[in-house]
Structure 1
Amino acid sequence: MSGEAASTTPLRMSRRVMNLAYVLTQNARRHGDRPGFVWGEKSWTWREINAEVSALAAALSARGIEKGDRILVHSKNGEQMFWSMFAAFRLGAVWVPTNFRLMPDEVTYLATASGAKAFLCHGAFPEHAAVVKGRSLAFTWRIGDEGGFGETTVRQAITAHAGARVENAAVEHDDPCWFFFTSGTTGRSKAAVLTHGQMGFVITNHLADLTPGTTEQDASLVVAPLSHGAGVHQLMQTARGATTVLLPSDKFDVPEAFRLIEAHRVSNLFTVPTILKMMVEHPAADQFDHSSLRHVIYAGAPMYREDQKAALKKLGKVIVQYFGLGEVTGNITVLPAALHEEEDGPRARIGSCGYERTGMQVQIQDDQGRDLKPFETGEICVIGPAVFAGYYDNPEANAKAFRDGWFRTGDLGHMDDEGFVYITGRASDMYISGGSNIYPREIEEKILTHPSIGEVAVL
C-alpha cells in the first residue's frame, strides 16, 4: 500500500440484493414436496406454489408488466392473492395491496395515487372493477371464479402459462417491491415505499425477534388480511419454509381457528389485541389442543393489562407484543414471551411495548428533536434498516415524517432507564384538564381493573 492516505470517498457501487421471490426458489428446491399453503380442503406444495407463481409472472409479463410497474390487488385472502405478491416480486414489479373493505372510490384513489398498470380484483367486488380507472391502468383480471368482469381470470392466466420458468429479476437494495398504504387517519392514505433490501432485513429481524427457531416443521395460521401486517408475517414464515394456513372464509370463526391450530399443530400466528381477546374468552379455547402454540403475536394497538393476564392464563407464556408502523414494517420494539408475566410486579413491565428491535434505534424526542431523559414524555422516533424509503410521490409528507434522518412515528411515550418503551398515546388523543395532560389509555387501564368491566373507551 502506498504512503498516500487512503481515499475516504465512498465507492459508488451497485447494491444488488436478493429478490424476495427467491425464498420460493429456495423452498421449491429444499422442501418441494412439503405443504406450503393450506386453504380449506386444498393444499399446495412449495414446488406447486413456485410453479404457479412463475406461470402468473409469465402471464403478467406477456401482458406488458415490467420491472417497476405497479400491480394493484383488491382481494380477500386466498391463494391467488398470495401468489400475486411473489409474482410481482419475481418480475421486479411493485405489489400494491388494498384493504378489501375499502369502498370503490377509495380504491380508485389508490389506483391513481400508485400509478397502477394492472388491477387484480376479487370477483366479490364488481363495483370496484367497474369504477377503478387510471391514466396508467392497462387491464383488469379477476381473482376467483365468481363475478363476470375482467379481461380474464388469474386462474386462466396461470393455466395458459403453465410450465413457464421465470427467473427472479435482478434488484437492488432500494428497488421498490411493495406500496404499503397507511390507514389514512390524518387524511388521504399514503403509499409507504417498501424495498427489496429493506424487506430482506425485516424478514431476518422478524424471525429473530418474533418467532425465533421457526423451521419448515412449523405452521402459521392467518387470521388477518394478507394485504398488511399478516402479509409481512407470512412472507417471513415463507422464508423459513413454514406452512401458511388460511381460515376457510373471510369471516373470523374462533372455533374454526382453534380447530385448525390443533389439526395443523400451528406454532405461531399474528393478530391484534381485539381478536386475541375474542379467542381467549371463547369456550373453544378449552375444547381444542393449542399446546403447539409458541408465539402468539399481537400488534396494531396496545393490549390492556387485564387482557394480557387472561391470555397468559389461557394460552400460557406464548404471547409476543411488537410495536411498529407500516412505515417501519413493524420493527420498532418487541416484548417477547419470556417478559410477559401473569402476576403484577417489577418484572411485569406493565404498560411497556418492549425494547428496541434488533438493529434498530429508538429515541424519545422533544419538539426540537432533542433526545429526552428517561421517563420524560415525547415523540417516539426511530432509525434503522427497517425504515421505509419514503412516501411515493409525496414530498410534503416526507418532509413532515423525517427529521435529521429520524422517522417520526407521531406516537407519544417515554422510555425507562433500561430502554423499555411505554406508549402514552397519539399526540392527537391527548387532552388537557385542569392544566394537566390527560391520556385516555391511562384512564382506560385503570377502569379495566374493575371486575365487572370488559370493554372501555375514553374519549
Structure 2
Amino acid sequence: MNLASWVERHGRRLRDRPALASGRDVHATWSELAARVAAVAGGLRADCGLEPGDRVAIVMDNRAEYLEAQYAAWHAGLVAVPVNARLHRDEVAFVLEHSGARVVVTDAAHAPDVSALEERLETVERVVVVPGPDWDGLLSAAPVALTDRGADDAAWLFYTSGTTGRPKGATLTHGNLLMASLSYYADIDPVAATDSVLHAAPLSHGSGLYGLPHVARGAVSVFPPPGPLGGATLLSLLARWPGMSFFAAPIMVKRLTADAALAGADLTGLRTIIYGGAPMYLADLEQALATFGPRLAQIYGQGETPMTITGLSKTDHADTDHPRWRQRMQGVGFPRTDVEVRVVDDADRALPPGEPGEVVVRGGVVMAGYWGQPEETAETLRGGWLHTGDVGSLDEDGFLTLHDRSKDLVISGGMNIYPREVEEALLTHPHVEAVAVVGRPDPEWGEAVVAFVVTDGTEPPTAELDRACLDRIARFKRPKDYHFVESLPTNNYGKVLKRELRDRLGGRPPEQR
C-alpha cells in the first residue's frame, strides 16, 4: 500500500478536477499533479540517485509544491521527513543529520540556511530549491512507475519533542497513515471529491496529517496567501472552494472568532474546523461555537499516534443539553474508532474510572518506533502499548480528561516546546547559574514560556537572555517572562519541583484544560 497511489488513481479518474489550489487559482488538476509527482519521483531516483527507503526532507512554508514533493517521495518509495520550517537552523540540522536525509527540498526563504547545512552535514548530498532550476529539472525528468510499498514500510518521520529534550523521529508507516485517514472518516467527517481542505497550519504537523484523508478522496488542497489567515480571506476562499475543512491551533480559532469580517457572515461553505495541539479556554470555545456554529471538532493525539487518541466530535460540541456539557468541553473526548485507550498506574495496571494515571494507547495507527532509537522505542511501546506520558482519567462513560502535560512539555500556540531546550540555551549566558522553564496559562497562546533564573549575583538584562535563546533555538520557544530567584525548589534527590514553580505563577484558571 503506497499512499501515492491515491494521486495516481485520481489522475485517471478525476483528471480535470482541481487537486491543488493557490488561493482562488487552480495550481494543478489531478492529471497534472499525477504527472508532476511521477516526474519528480523519477528525478529523485535517477538524478539524485536515491533508492527506496532513503529519506527526503522538506523544509519550506506551506505551498502547493510541498505536497508535490511529499507525494513524489512516496511515489519513488522514499521516506518523507517534513521539518517544521519555524525551527532554528541548528534544530533543522539535528533533524537532517539524525534522519540521514540525502536530499532536502526547500524554498527561497529557507534556502540560505539549508544550503549552509549542506556544506556542514555529511548526510545531505543535494538541496533542491522551489521554485528554481533544480526543481524544474526534477519536473522535466522521465517519470517512473509507482514503487510498491507495504503497510509496514516507513512513509513519514514525524519529529516531535521527546522526554530527553531532543526531537525524536516517530516512524509512521504507510499503514499507520492509512489507518489515521480511515479514522478521520469514522470519527470526524466523510469526505467527497467536491470538498476542500485549507492548509492554514503547518503541513509538517497537523495540517499535513489531516490533509491525507482529503487527498485520499480526491478533494482539493487549498493554500491561502502567506501570513495569518484572516476572516476576509477565509470568506473569499469559502466562496471559491466549498465543503472546506481545516486544522487549526486554538489561538487561530480564537483570532478568527474575533475577526469582524466573520460577524454574521454566511459560512455555508465551511464544513469543519478541527482544533487541537493546545488547551482552549471554555469561554473561547463558547464564543467560537457562537461564531461558527456546530462545525468544531477537537482531537487529542501525538506524533507517535498521528493525532488519533481521543476526540470531541461536532455532535459532542453541539450537545449543549448534556448535563456535563461544560465539563466535557474541558476534556479531550472519547477514544477514536481505531484505538484502545487505558489509564494505568506505574506498574501498567489499568485503573478504575476516576483514578488518574498515565494514558496509554494501542492500535494500527501507533508508530512503528523511534527512528534509530531502539531503547527509547522499547520503553515507550512496552507491553504493546504507547505510553504517552500524559496524566489523565477516564470516567464511567469512557470519556478522557487530561490532568497534566506530558513530561513538562509546554504547548504554546499549538507548538510543542520542551523546557530543557530553552534551559540549555539560557545556561550559556555567563551570569546564569541555574534555570527552570515552565508553562504559564495564557489566554491567547494557551501557554506562555516562563523562565525562573538563578544568577551568580549579577542580574543580566532580559535582552541578553533573549539573545542567548535566539542564537540557539526557534523564536517561538523564547521565554515571554523571566523571574529572578535565589534558588530553585528541589526534592531530596535534587530534582527541580516544576509543579511548585507553576503554582507560584497562579496555576491554571478553573475553566482551562
User: Normalising by structure 2, what TM-score?
Assistant: 0.77
Q: Which residue number corresponds to residue 425 of structure 1?
A: 404
Q: Which residue number corresponds to residue 95 of structure 1?
A: 80
> Post-superposition shift, 1:166?
2.2
> Post-superposition shift, 1:406?
0.8
Mapped to 2, the partners of 1:428 and 1:34 lie a distance apart of 46
Q: Which residue number corresponds to residue 134 of structure 2?
A: 153
Contact 1:121 1:129 in 2 (8 A): no
Q: Which residue number corresponds to residue 423 of structure 2?
A: none
Q: Does 1:274 align with 2:251?
A: yes
Superposed, 1:42-441 pairs within 5 Å as 42-62=26-46, 63-125=48-110, 126-132=112-118, 133-145=120-132, 152-158=133-139, 160-161=140-141, 164-184=142-162, 186-212=164-190, 214-286=191-263, 288-341=265-318, 343=320, 345-348=322-325, 349-426=328-405, 428-429=407-408
**AA at the equivalent of 2:53:** G
**AA at the equivalent of 1:85:** Q
Does the C-alpha gap of structure 1 residues 270 and 442 become closer, same or farther in structure 2, counting only changes over 3 Å? farther
Secondary structure at 1:261 match in 2: helix
> Post-superposition shift, 1:287?
6.3
Does the C-alpha gap of structure 1 residues 427 and 181 become closer, same or farther in structure 2, counting only changes over 3 Å? closer
Mapped to 2, the partners of 1:427 and 1:245 lie a distance apart of 33
Mapped to 2, the partners of 1:268 and 1:316 lie a distance apart of 14
**AA at the equivalent of 1:177:** A
**AA at the equivalent of 2:113:** E
**AA at the equivalent of 2:367:** F
> Post-superposition shift, 1:254?
3.8
Name structure 2 gaps, 5 residues minimum: 410-437, 439-488, 490-498
Contact 1:201 1:385 in 2 (8 A): yes
Mapped to 1, the partners of 2:29 and 2:506 lie a distance apart of 48
Mapped to 1, the partners of 2:231 and 2:164 lie a distance apart of 33
> Post-superposition shift, 1:137?
2.1
Mapped to 1, the partners of 2:273 and 2:329 lie a distance apart of 18
**AA at the equivalent of 1:61:** R
Does the C-alpha gap of structure 1 residues 281 and 254 become closer, same or farther in structure 2, counting only changes over 3 Å? same
> Post-superposition shift, 1:141?
1.1
Secondary structure at 1:172 match in 2: coil
Mapped to 2, the partners of 1:298 and 1:68 lie a distance apart of 33
Superposed, 1:435-454 pairs within 5 Å as 444-446=508-510
> Post-superposition shift, 1:330?
0.8
**AA at the equivalent of 1:446:** P
Secondary structure at 2:92 match in 1: helix
**AA at the equivalent of 2:222:** V
Contact 2:249 2:276 in 1 (8 A): yes
Contact 1:77 1:250 in 2 (8 A): no
Contact 2:41 2:143 in 1 (8 A): no
Contact 1:74 1:121 in 2 (8 A): yes
User: Normalising by structure 1, what TM-score?
Assistant: 0.86
Mapped to 2, the partners of 1:250 and 1:175 lie a distance apart of 36
> Post-superposition shift, 1:266?
4.0
> Post-superposition shift, 1:222?
1.2
Does the C-alpha gap of structure 1 residues 106 and 93 become closer, same or farther in structure 2, counting only changes over 3 Å? same
Secondary structure at 1:192 match in 2: strand
Mapped to 1, the partners of 2:33 and 2:387 lie a distance apart of 39
**AA at the equivalent of 2:135:** V
Mapped to 2, the partners of 1:138 and 1:131 lie a distance apart of 10
Secondary structure at 1:404 match in 2: helix
Q: Deviations over 1:64-96 (max 9, x none)?
A: 111000001111111111111101111110001
Q: Deviations over 1:357-416 (max 9, x none)?
A: 112100001111010000100111100000000000112321331221110111111000
Stretch of structure 1 that moved more, 21-30 or 33-42: 33-42
Mapped to 1, the partners of 2:162 and 2:87 lie a distance apart of 12
- Identity fraction in percent: 35
Contact 2:62 2:199 in 1 (8 A): no
Mapped to 1, the partners of 2:148 and 2:227 lie a distance apart of 35
Name structure 1 gaps, 5 residues minimum: 1-17, 146-151, 449-456
**AA at the equivalent of 1:376:** E
Secondary structure at 1:323 match in 2: strand
Mapped to 1, the partners of 2:509 and 2:235 lie a distance apart of 28
Contact 2:247 2:275 in 1 (8 A): yes
Q: Deviations over 1:218-269 (max 9, x none)?
A: 1111110111111111121000111111111144334312321233224311
Contact 1:415 1:422 in 2 (8 A): yes
**AA at the equivalent of 2:92:** V
Q: Which residue number corresponds to residue 9 of structure 1?
A: none
**AA at the equivalent of 1:444:** R
Aligned residues: 419
Contact 2:201 2:247 in 1 (8 A): yes
Secondary structure at 2:217 match in 1: coil
RMSD: 2.5
Contact 1:323 1:330 in 2 (8 A): yes
Mapped to 1, the partners of 2:210 and 2:153 lie a distance apart of 21
Mapped to 2, the partners of 1:250 and 1:23 lie a distance apart of 30
Secondary structure at 2:403 match in 1: strand
Q: Which residue number corresponds to residue 39 of structure 1?
A: 22
